[in-house]
Structure 1
Amino acid sequence: MKSTFDLMRLWAMLTGLVLAAWYFAALLMGAKQTETLSMLVTAIGGFELFHFAQDIWLKRGRTNG
């Protein structure tokens, strides 16, 4: 069973992907972009990047035996 934090990270990832797709679709259609959408994508990406690096750091610190 996944922890609540793992589920929160999953929802953040899915939300970030949807927002990024929305941003690029609007960009391709020539719609005027707001700063809010790009800031949301960046914030969620930063959240995921931080926790990805933290997972690597924690796994590196574990010993096998």
Structure 2
Amino acid sequence: MSAVSGFPTQPEQLIGTWRRFGLAGPVYEIIRTGQPLPNGDRLMRVRVVESGEEVDYKLTDIFDDPRER
């Protein structure tokens, strides 16, 4: 996956960063990389700050979510 619009080339560079599910959704922290998917995407493990829940989330979806400041 190449860098697009300032996104890092390596998914590992996202670890420790914070984003929000959509414009008004909860904040999550990216905590580690997951498995690659057959379509070229990759799963990333994220922790939802509000609940502490950890879930797998597609890297392409992360790129669509706004960064949290």
TM-score band, normalised by shorter chain: under 0.3
User: Relative contact order: is structure 1 or structure 2 higher (C-alpha 8 Å, sep ≥ 6)?
Assistant: 1
Structure whose residues are more often strand by fraction = 2
